[in-house]
Amino acid sequence: MASTNLMSLGNVEKKDFLKSFDYFICDCDGVLWHGRVPVPGAQEVLKNLVSIGKKRFYFTNNSALTRKQFVEKFNSLGFDAKEEEILSTAWLTAKYLKNINFNKKVYVVGGTSIKEELDKFEIENFGAGPDNYEARGSSNFTLESSDIELVPDVGAVVVGYDLFFSYPKVAKAKCYLNDPKCLFLATNKDEKIPIAGGLTVPGSGALVAAVEVCSDRKADVIGKPSPFAIDHVLIPSGIDPKRCLMIGDKCSTDIYFGNQRGMITLLVETGLHRYTDLEKFKSSGMDHLIPSYYTSSVADISKIMRLP
């Protein structure tokens, strides 16, 4: 499986590329922006694609915001967005539980974004935000069984990005997961998150790993690269994955996600991975990480649209 340099195509092939998809799904960090700085030309290309009839989705593994909050972020950075165009992992997790007619309680190791999305689907949940262990006045530093008040009827543990991640939370998650019928869901498993100044900080994957190790279980992932969003959101809406273009900067999440269901995939080199990484993946036999096309920036699509 080889990847094609998008801009090396002839003009006829470039136009065929534009005709080959009806929908495009854009990852956000590293594709549309870095932190709060938009990638030059990104807003324009998205607008132009919509103006020629392409339908748009945004898919971010970030679980720290609700869909409503993402719309506000998009608008503040100059991107058009509607809630129904946003595939975010707090919302997808709630949608998944709704789809399986989940009717128990969810223990959330994550932020209030997960709580708010679960609330919208009327799924009973608790645990988001700081654990109240300290507030109860515990003065020693060992956790007693009496410190762990297990709530009855918990049918799922959801782990996502959690600024208040703590030992008591991992302990409780582990206790709920002792029941093999209790679902174990991760919004995503990204190991690291890039932040300003060239630093990276732990992503949800680091927190999920802590719960996996002590519970001796593996979480089911809702975000990329899980095909959940394709199988449970796009296909049921009548969307053919083969007519979708997935645009991303990370091969192990974005590109793998699209490749699993036959989407056309495009790696943009404004984020994590570059063409040189593709050669490494190929020589290690990791064909599932190879995109259909690669190019330097999402803005290159504008150049194709301007062709006479």
Cα separation of 41 and 299, whole Å? 5
- Please tell me the total number of residues recorded for the chain in this structure: 308
Stretch 244-263 residues interacting with Mg ion (CB under 5 A): 249
Give me the residue whose beta carbon is nearest to Mg ion.
30
Q: Based on the residue annotation, tell me whether 287 is a catalytic residue of this protein.
A: no
Nearer to Mg ion, 223 or 271 (CB): 271
Q: How many CA atoms lie within 13 A of 19 on its CB side?
A: 6
Residues 278-297 that bind Mg ion (CB under 5 A): none
Q: Output the smallest distance, CB 194 to Mg ion, in A.
A: 9
Q: Which amino acid appears at position 27 of this protein? A: D
Contacts of 197 (CB under 8 A, 6+ apart): none
Quote the least distance from Cβ 126 to Mg ion, whole Å. Answer: 31
Return the residues of window 154-183 that contact Mg ion according to CB under 5 A: none
Q: Which is nearer to Mg ion, 147 or 269 (CB)?
A: 269
Q: Site residues for Mg ion, window 22-51 (CB under 5 A)?
A: 27, 29-30
User: Is the dihedral angle over the CA atoms 95, 73, 289, 21 positive or is it negative?
Assistant: positive
Which of 39, 182 has the CB closer to Mg ion? 39
Catalytic residue among 16, 22, 27, 300: 27
Would residue 29 show up in a list of annotated catalytic residues for this protein? yes
# chain residues binding Mg ion, by CB under 5 A: 5
Strands 33-34 and 37-38: antiparallel
Contact of 273 with 3, CB cutoff 8 Å? no
- Decide whether 30 or 110 has the Cβ nearer to Mg ion: 30
The active-site residue, picked from 16, 22, 29, 216, is: 29
Closest to Mg ion by CB, 258 or 271: 271
Nearest to 38 by CA among 67, 80, 9: 80
Per-residue x/- track, 194-223, Mg ion (CB under 5 A): ------------------------------
Residues 246, 225: Cα–Cα separation, whole Å: 12
**Shortest Å, Cβ 257 to Mg ion:** 11
Distance CA 75, CA 180 (A): 43
- Cis bond before residue 225 (omega within 30° of 0): yes
Angle between helical axes of 112-120 and 89-99 (0-180°, round to 10): 40
Tokens of 155: 């049918």
Amino acid identity at 97: L
Q: Which residues are annotated binding-site positions?
A: 27, 29, 224, 249
Which range touches Mg ion (CB under 5 A), out of 7-15, 135-143, 199-207, 269-277? 269-277
* Residue 54: CB minimum distance to Mg ion, A: 20
Q: Active-site residue numbers?
A: 27, 29
Binding stretches for Mg ion (CB under 5 A)? 27, 29-30, 249, 271
